[in-house]
């Protein structure tokens, strides 16, 4: 576990910091679809993702979801960090996208380590900056880009992450991530297929052109 922590979180370079993390945290294995953190729950621990990924979403009063961003291996959740610092309830849901291994770090160590370990402090600040930039991109996408562009960008992101042009996902999955309806997503995907951008099959979408 120590070797994996060093491999995925090289920015936490102090040996003492890594040892403190390993002593304080609990390894957690999640299957695809498992909820790591739900809306309304108090934040008791912070995830350091070693393998796999988590998907973070917001939900409105009608239960419609909007994808915020993914937490991949070597990353943590900046929104969890901000919630735990104020002992607040979570306003987001984190769902495992695949088989995922993470270290659950109790929130009581956050302030202590920020003071004690320089590399941990820099890691936390860098996480805030990265997620803030991703949230700005999400806002820009919703405010300024058409749904067809948002679909294509999401497909490209998933292809880059999985290393395969064939994505095992449904039209409803895309609709959930983009806070749209399945009918609208299907109509746009069929147009994209006609233009040669994607190929559609049952519960599969193949991205033909990433450029």
Confirm if 145 and 180 have CB atoms less than 8 A apart: no
User: What is the per-residue pLDDT across 5-45, written as a single tens digit (0 to 9) for each?
Assistant: 999 999 999 999 999 999 999 999 999 999 999 998 888 89
Taking residue 42's Cβ as centre, other Cβ atoms within 10 Å add up to 12
Which of the four pLDDT bands, split at 50, 70 and 90, describes residue 211? low
Q: At residue 54, does pLDDT exceed 90?
A: yes
Q: What 3-state DSSP class applies to 123? A: helix
Report in angstroms the alpha-carbon separations of 159 from 154, 178, 193, 209. Answer: 9, 17, 17, 11
User: What is the per-residue pLDDT across 136-171, written as a single tens digit (0 to 9) for each?
Assistant: 887 887 777 888 999 999 999 889 888 889 999 999
Q: What 3-state DSSP class applies to 71? A: strand
Confirm if 123 and 12 have CB atoms less than 8 A apart: yes
Among the listed ranges 3-7, 98-102, 131-135, which one has the minimum average pLDDT value?
131-135
Q: Which residues pair with 65 in a beta bridge?
A: 59
- For 56, half-sphere exposure in the C-beta direction (CA atoms, 13 angstrom radius) is 19
Look at the pTM and tell me if it is higher than 0.85.
no
Among the listed ranges 115-119, 177-181, 192-196, which one has the minimum average pLDDT value?
177-181
Q: State the Cα–Cα distance between residues 58 and 69, nearest whole angstrom.
A: 10
Confirm if 107 and 43 have CB atoms less than 8 A apart: yes
Q: What 3-state DSSP class applies to 37? A: strand
Q: Which residues pair with 94 in a beta bridge?
A: 37, 56
User: What is the per-residue pLDDT across 176-189, written as a single tens digit (0 to 9) for each?
Assistant: 888 888 899 999 99
DSSP structural state of residue 108: G
Q: What is the mean pLDDT of residues 51-68?
A: 86
Which of the four pLDDT bands, split at 50, 70 and 90, describes residue 86? low
Interhelix angle 182-194/147-162, rounded to 10 degrees, is 80
Supply the Cα-derived Rg of the chain in whole angstroms.
Answer: 18
């Amino acid at each position: 576990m120590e070797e994996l922590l060093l491999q995925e979180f090289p920015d936490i370079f102090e040996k003492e910091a890594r040892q403190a993390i390993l002593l304080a945290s609990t390894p957690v294995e999640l299957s695809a679809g498992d909820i790591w953190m739900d809306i309304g729950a108090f934040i008791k621990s912070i995830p350091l993702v070693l393998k796999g990924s988590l998907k973070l979403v917001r939900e409105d009063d009608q239960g419609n979801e909007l994808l915020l961003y993914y937490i991949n291996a070597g990353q943590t959740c900046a929104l969890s960090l901000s919630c735990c610092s104020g002992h607040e309830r979570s306003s987001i849901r984190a769902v495992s996208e695949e088989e995922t291994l993470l270290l659950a770090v109790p929130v009581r160590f956050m302030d202590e380590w920020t003071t004690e370990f320089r590399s941990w402090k820099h890691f936390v600040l860098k996480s805030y900056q990265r997620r803030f930039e991703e949230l700005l991109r999400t806002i820009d996408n919703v405010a300024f880009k058409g749904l067809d562009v948002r679909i294509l960008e999401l497909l490209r992101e998933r292809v880059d992450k999985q290393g395969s042009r064939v994505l095992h996902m449904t039209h409803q999955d895309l609709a959930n991530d983009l806070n749209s309806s399945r009918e609208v997503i299907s109509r746009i995907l069929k147009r994209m297929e006609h233009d040669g951008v994607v190929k559609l099959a049952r519960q599969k979408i193949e991205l033909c052109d990433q450029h």
